[in-house]
Amino acid sequence: MRFTVHPDVFARFSGMRIAVAVMDGLDNATPRPPVEAAWRETCTLAASQAAPYGNAQSHPRVKPWRERFQAMGVSGKEFPSSIEALLRRTLKGGDPFTINPLVDWYNTLSLRHTVPAGAFDLDQLHGPVALRPTEDGDTFLALGADLSVAVPAGEIAYADGHTILTRHFVWRQSRAGLIAHDTTHVLLVSEVLGEVGGAVADTMLADFITGANDYFGIAAHGMVLDAQQPVFAW
């Protein structure tokens, strides 16, 4: 398997670095109280730290996503980045939502560093996985939908062949590759814009690797991709 990033992606998002890691042998069905505790603590802290900015989209690590989307003619209001949506939900307060241990864990890291983070169930995919501009023939199956829809050419998206895994890069994930309680083989990703600072991608990779061991008891391996190194193989 391999994960590749098309040169056009780095051309549109100059300076971006992407932390990627693979986990295999995951037990995502067993409750993980340390993950739950970290998630709750991080939600409280993130809300407190973001409150002075007034809203999620004004946070200095979130605002660049809106600006980059706007430069491509994509509405950041209509298609907010995953970190904007996550931070907005956190700022509303109340009990943190929970999905499953792995998702709660990478959401914790996403909020902790205020950058997008996500994952794909590799056993559901054919591979290779690519981050690329969409093209004719690509389709997307939204969460809660029964039928796939055609995707316009020219969006940035994660893809498995002609199956689109995310719309508008870091906006919305497909049912394909979705992390579930029976997921065992995972590709983790975190996209760090140049405006945020490249070192954050190194921190995310380190947190992917140490967290896989500390919270799930398994080894993870990965690397940070950029325009000079756009391929990760395993």
DSSP sequence for 185-204: EEEEEEEE-TTT-THHHHHH
Task: Give every CB contact of residue 125 below 8 A, 6+ residues apart in sequence.
Answer: 160, 163, 165, 176, 177
Range of the domain at 70: 2-233
Contact partners, residue 40, CB within 8 Å, separation at least 6: 96
Taking the CB of residue 48, how many other CB atoms lie within 10 A of it?
Answer: 11
CA dihedral 208, 213, 217, 222 (to 10 degrees): 50
Looking at residue 21, its pLDDT comes to 98
Distance of CA 84 to the CA centre of its chain: 12
pLDDT given at position 228: 98
| Ranges in the chain, pLDDT < 70 | none
pLDDT of residue 23: 98
Q: Could you tell me the CA-to-CA distances from 231 to 3, 116, 126, 193 in Å, in that order? A: 6, 20, 17, 18
Long-range contact set of residues 71-80: C-beta below 8 Å, sequence gap at least 24: 72/12, 72/156, 74/155, 74/168, 79/167, 79/168, 79/171, 79/172, 80/56, 80/171
- The total number of structural domains in the chain stands at 1
Written as six digits, the tokens of 169 are: 């890069």
Q: How far apart are CA 54 and CA 184, in angstroms?
A: 39
DSSP label at residue 154: T
**How does pLDDT run across 98-110, given as a tens digit for each residue?**
999 999 999 999 9
Amino acid present at 145: A
Question: Structure pTM?
Answer: 0.97
Cβ contacts of residue 72 below 8 Å, gap of 6+? 12, 156
User: What was the pLDDT predicted at 180?
Assistant: 98
**Which CATH number goes with the domain that contains 157?**
3.50.40.10
230 neighbors 7 (Cβ within 8 angstroms): yes
Q: In what order do the strands lie in the sheet with 17-24?
A: 118-121, 185-192, 17-24, 220-225
Three-state DSSP class for residue 22: strand
